Amino acid sequence: MRLAVCSLFALSFASHADRLPQQAVDTVEVPEIIISGRDSDSKPLPYYRIAPDVYFLYANIAEVDGKNRGFNGNAGFVVTDEGVVVIDSLGTPKLGRRLIVTVRKVTDKPIRYLILTHNHPDHSYGAVAFRRLPGIRIVGHVGTLEYLGSDNLPASVAFRRRILGADMKGFEGVEPDILVGGEIYSHYDFTLGGKTFAVYNADHHHSFGDLVVHQVEDRVLWISDLAFNNRSTFMGDGHSGAALEAIDWMRKTFPDTRLMIPGHGSAQTPPFPMVEKTYSYIQRLRDEMGAAVEAGQDLESAVRLSDFADWHATPLYHENHKKNANFIYREMEQEIYFGK
Ligand SMILES: [Zn+2]
């Protein structure tokens, strides 16, 4: 049975300057949503209803800047009879507050859970706004604790304060109430309003710890940054080998998925071309950098020469590719000389 994919959408919350694709599923069109520092906290954000109870905030495809103000990672929420489950919190405390207001436009049911798929700022820096909601339970990867104690946090907070100013006011690192960890690919399940949410430990393929959320009865899979759509991937503090393993695991474990929702780019229906595209990019770069290491080519020239011409038109290729090559070269060096 095919999922009835809705793309009803709340034009009224977009301002004139915004450019919003007609739909947020299976499209290569990307949104341009301008966020103003002067916008009130009570102004909802544009959202799409992409399945009967599933709402999606399709974010800008960009690095954080003064125009998107941290609205450059997707978020979404699921409405059940007993309350709402929010997946990811957007990139600043201010956007977190606006996400709560957006949920309020759809339903007055309480927000019962916030699941943080990983700790990168564009997904998690709005979490502090949710911390204050009565009765909420925040679910995160056990790697969150390591992230909160790392040097990455103060550095990225300082950077965002510099470019986003007051939008970062009130920022605090948020410790989840429920930590998902243990064995790789094990899961923590909860049920709300007759819907089961299985939250999987998908290893640290992209960050200090990554989660995949399976909305079991609806066969909707929130994959976070396990595959990127409408943009190139970014390897910063994850692991490329773990990313390929996790994609293999995902393909085997959820063959009946009807709708996949990534952390960047539009949602997708089968056969999920974004998954293959992300996989082949990572594999190709591992092969290329591995060959460079084997041939004794130094890091600098291997990175300089790396160029995937067929990716040039893909958003964020030019920003990310050399960084990815640099990261993967060093991984391959470790793997080849020291066996991982
Ligand atoms: Zn991301």
User: At 223, is the secondary structure helix, strand, or coil?
Assistant: strand
| pLDDT at residue 153, rounded to an integer | 96
User: Domains in the chain, ordered, with CATH?
Assistant: 8-274 (3.60.15.10)
| pLDDT per position as a tens digit, 197-231 | 999 999 999 999 999 999 999 999 999 999 999 99
Q: Confidence class of residue 14 from pLDDT cuts 50, 70 and 90?
A: low
The rounded Å distance from CA 204 to ligand 1 centre is 13
- The two counts, helices (H) then strands (E), for the chain are 9, 13
Say how many Å lie between the CA of residue 304 and the centre of ligand 1: 25
Q: What is the pTM of this model?
A: 0.95
Measure the CA–CA gap between 235 and 276, rounded to whole angstroms: 17
Tell me the CA–centroid distance for residue 63 and ligand 1, in Å.
10
Q: What is the pLDDT of residue 257?
A: 98
Whole-number Å distance, alpha carbon 206 to ligand 1 midpoint, is 9
Of 221, 209, 227, the closest CA to residue 281 belongs to: 227
Q: What is the pLDDT of residues 81-118, one digit of tens each?
A: 999 999 999 999 999 999 999 999 999 999 999 999 99
Chain segment 137-171, per-residue pLDDT in tens: 999 999 999 999 999 999 999 999 999 999 999 99
- What is the percent of the chain where pLDDT is above 90? 93
Torsion of the alpha carbons at 262, 265, 269 and 271, rounded to the nearest 10:
-90
**Which token pair is 176?**
């989840």
pLDDT band at 3 (very low <50, low <70, confident <90, very high): very low
